[in-house]
Structure 1
Amino acid sequence: MKRMKLVIFGASGRTGRALVEQALEAGHDVTAGVRNPDNFPLQHERLHVVKADVFDLPSVDAAMQGKNAVLSTVGPRKRGLLGAYKPEGLYSRGIKNILQAMQKNGIRRLVCVTAAAADDQYTPQGLYGSIQIPLIWRKTLEDMKLMQREISKSNLDWVVVRPARLSDYPRTDEYRTSLRPTSKDQRTRRTDLAAFMLKELTDTQYLRKLPVIAD
């Protein structure tokens, strides 16, 4: 893969950090867009950490200037034990700013993350499906679906990657991909997700599609 100038939103999360690390290992120049640059734990000569909030269009636009592609692992943070995840339009509002800034800066390639459960044909399984999705994740998944619709209306070269439940196990590169989630899609390693996202920067198999990735 040729060296690219990438901007990664949501870089401070666990998936985002894995993506930054692998992008740097692959030789890319990386701009990490985060809300609190002083707290970002990684350092590298090809890493630039900037303050960027997907709710704030000027900061998103500034982070994109001079870049070749955009990756987003933006996700809600847990607040309290059951006060859980408050999307507050994080996906649907944030993607509008990302898409607008991409158009302005002439960037065509977008690779971002939602979830396998954000598929209308997803069949909930076990405790996760019967309790966690309706009680904790329902509003987040609805917001993800809005984001997916916004992206699908754009004329950009996009890929929306949909992992199963994320885990922090080491990278294997032995993941499965498909266009619809199945009962087998239970877990996805963040490290494998990051590797697949980087692959999708240049691959065309899933161009303008929503692949599911799972262990």
Structure 2
Amino acid sequence: MQIVVLGATGRTGGAAVEHALDRGYGVTAYARNPDAITPRPGLAVVRGAVDDVPAMTAAFAGHDAVVSCLGARVGAGYLWHGTDFQRRSLPRIIDALDAAAVPRFVLLSSLGIGDTARKQSFVPRLFARTLAKRLFDDKLAAERDLPRCAADWTAVYPVTLKPGPADEDRELAPLDEVTAVPGRPVLTFATAAAALIDLVPERGGPRRLVLTARGAWR
């Protein structure tokens, strides 16, 4: 299995690279700053930006899947002024996926985007609708492009993420089967990364999945 990881310099993306290599996959990290990625066997690093469709198409060619862990860094500037990063990048990623005829796409999103917010308890829902509203609105606008993606795609909506090692205390549930995610369940970036990579060989048409701690939904 040959996969491309986008966002490999981030916490989830870096862990996704490690998990994919551990599974024996060949991994290409497509990154704006390849010097931030430690070379290792099985890993190819390609310099490029996500607004460059021809460069992405060339990097994606011949791969079985693309896993996107891209996200705007959460900071005071982005929270206050907002960003259009996701709505600029995701349509271009989809264009490159289709041009390169990549059959599989796994996207990291966030619980709290659009209609997923009503699944949350009060505090995280309030955060998504106030302090992080501009970031979440950007993701929502970007994901409206997903239905046109020709690849078999899965979007994953995790609960709050934190640093720490990967563990197996996780569960992926179809979004339309989740009534609520009570409280404030937390998983690690590495656990989310492992879930994304584990989804790569799966098929089944477009899907939206909630990623939470095992049993932490109803």
Partner of 2:59: 63
What letter corresponds to residue 31 of structure 1 in structure 2? T
Rate the CA distance shift 1:143–1:109 in 2: closer, same or farther, 3 A: same
Rate the CA distance shift 1:60–1:167 in 2: closer, same or farther, 3 A: same
Identity between Structure 1 and Structure 2 (%):
26
Q: Structure 2 residue aligned with 1:83, among 77, 81, 86?
A: 77
Please provide the CA RMSD for this pair. 2.0
Partner of 2:197: 198
Partner of 1:187: 186
Partner of 1:94: 89
Counterpart Cα distance in 2 of 1:7 and 1:71 = 6
Aligned partners of 1:84 and 1:136 also within 8 Å: no
Tell me the alpha carbon deviations over residues 40-62 of structure 1, each in whole angstroms, 9 at most, x when there is no partner: 2x221211111121122222222
Q: How many residues are paired up?
A: 207
Rate the CA distance shift 1:153–1:87 in 2: closer, same or farther, 3 A: farther
Specify every segment of 5 or more residues in structure 2 that has no aligned partner in the other structure, as ranges. Answer: 214-218
Q: Structure 1 residue aligned with 2:212, among 207, 211, 214?
A: 214
Aligned partners of 1:163 and 1:193 also within 8 Å: yes
Counterpart Cα distance in 1 of 2:60 and 2:184 = 34
Q: What TM-score does the superposition give when structure 1 sets the normalisation length?
A: 0.87
Tell me the alpha carbon deviations over residues 15-63 of structure 1, each in whole angstroms, 9 at most, x when there is no partner: 00000001011111111011111122x2212111111211222222222
Q: What TM-score does the superposition give when structure 2 sets the normalisation length?
A: 0.86
Aligned partners of 2:117 and 2:125 also within 8 Å: no
Q: Deviation of residue 84 (structure 1)?
A: 3.5
Counterpart Cα distance in 1 of 2:194 and 2:74 = 25
SS at match of 1:50: strand
